[in-house]
Amino acid sequence: MYEQELKDIDEVIAEGPFSDTWESLQNYKTPDWFKSAKFGIFIHWGIFTVPEWGSEWYPRFMYMQSEDYFKHHVDTYGPHKDFGYKDFIPQFQAKAFDAHEWIALFKKAGAKYVVPVAEHHDGFQMYESKYSKWNAKNMGPKKDILKVIKEECQKQNMTMGTSSHRMEHWFFFGHGREFDSDVQGNCSREDLYWPAMELPNDNYFDPASENGPSEEFLQDWLVRICEIIDNYRPRVLYFDWWIQHINARPYVKKMAAYYYNRAHEWGQEVALVYKYDTFPFGAGIYDIERGQMNAAAPYYWQTDTSTALNSWCYTINNEFRSAESLVQTLVDVVAKNGNLLLNVGPRADGIICKEEVDILEKFGKWLEVNGEAIYDSHPWRTFGEGPTQIKEGGFSEDASSGFTPQDVRYTVRGRYLYATVLAPSEDGKYILKELAHDYEKSEGNSKFHGVIKNIEALGFSADKEVKWHANDNGLFINTESANNSNTTFPVVFKIDLE
**Predicted pLDDT at 447:** 84
DSSP string, 371-387: GGGTTT-EEEEEEEE-S
Q: Is a pLDDT exceeding 90 seen at residue 36?
A: yes
Q: What are the C-alpha distances in Å from 287 to residues 5, 272, 279, 290?
A: 30, 10, 11, 10
Contacts of 34 (CB under 8 A, 6+ apart): 113, 236, 269, 271, 285, 300, 339
pLDDT of residue 247: 97
d(CA 461, CA 482): 10
User: Which tens digit of pLDDT belongs to each residue from 205-242?
Assistant: 888 888 999 999 999 999 999 999 999 999 999 999 89
**pLDDT band at residue 465 using 50, 70 and 90 as cut-offs:** confident
Residues in CB range of 244: below 8 A, 6 or more apart: 207, 274, 275, 276, 277, 278
pLDDT, tens only, 143-166: 999 999 999 999 999 999 999 999
- For residue 425, how many other CB atoms are within 10 A of its CB? 18
More confident residue, 140 or 444: 140
Distances, alpha carbon 33 to alpha carbons 36, 235, 292, 355, in Å: 5, 10, 21, 30
Residue length of the chain: 498
Residues 219 and 247 sit within 8 Å (Cβ to Cβ) = no
User: Would the pLDDT of 431 be above 90?
Assistant: yes
Tell me how far the alpha carbon of residue 228 is from its chain's centroid: 19
- Confidence class for position 394, pLDDT limits 50, 70, 90: confident
Asked if residue 423 has pLDDT above 70, the reply is yes
Q: Distance (Å, rounded) from C-alpha 189 to C-alpha 211? A: 18
Query: pLDDT digits over 75-129, tens only?
Result: 999 999 999 999 999 999 999 999 999 999 999 999 999 999 999 999 999 999 9
Q: For residue 237, give the amino acid letter.
A: L
pLDDT digits (tens, 9 = 90+) for 309-338: 999 999 999 999 999 999 999 999 999 999
CB neighbour list of residue 23: distance below 8 Å, 6 or more residues apart = none
Cα–Cα distance measured from residue 306 to residue 344, given in angstroms and rounded to the nearest whole number:
6
pLDDT of amino acid 321:
96
**Position 379 confidence tier, pLDDT thresholds 50, 70, 90:** very high
Interatomic CA distance for residues 484 and 65, integer angstroms: 49
DSSP-derived 3-state class of residue 186:
coil
Per-residue pLDDT, 399:
63
> Quick check: 158 and 107 in contact, CB under 8 A?
yes
Which pLDDT belongs to residue 54? Answer: 98
Residue 202's pLDDT band (cuts 50, 70, 90): confident
Interatomic CA distance for residues 129 and 383, integer angstroms? 45
- pLDDT of 444 reads 60
As a whole number of angstroms, the distance between CA 359 and CA 64 comes to 34
* Burial (CB count <10 Å: 0-12, 13-18, 19+), residue 4: exposed
pLDDT computed for residue 396 by the predictor: 80
Per-residue confidence (pLDDT) for residue 110, from 0 to 100: 98
Mean pLDDT of the chain: 95
Least confident of 2-11, 177-186, 284-293, 428-437: 177-186
60, pLDDT greater than 90: yes
Rg (alpha carbons) of the chain, rounded to whole number: 24
pLDDT exceeds cutoff 90 at 463? no
What pLDDT score was predicted for residue 187?
Answer: 83
Which residues share a beta bridge with 116?
43
Reduce the DSSP state of residue 180 to 3 states and report it.
coil
> Among residues 288, 241, 279, which one has the least CA distance to residue 260?
279
Residue 382 has pLDDT above 90, yes or no: yes
Cis peptide before 200 (omega within 30 of 0): no
Domains in the chain with CATH codes: 3-373 (3.20.20.80), 382-497 (2.60.40.1180)
Distance CA 431, CA 2 (A): 64
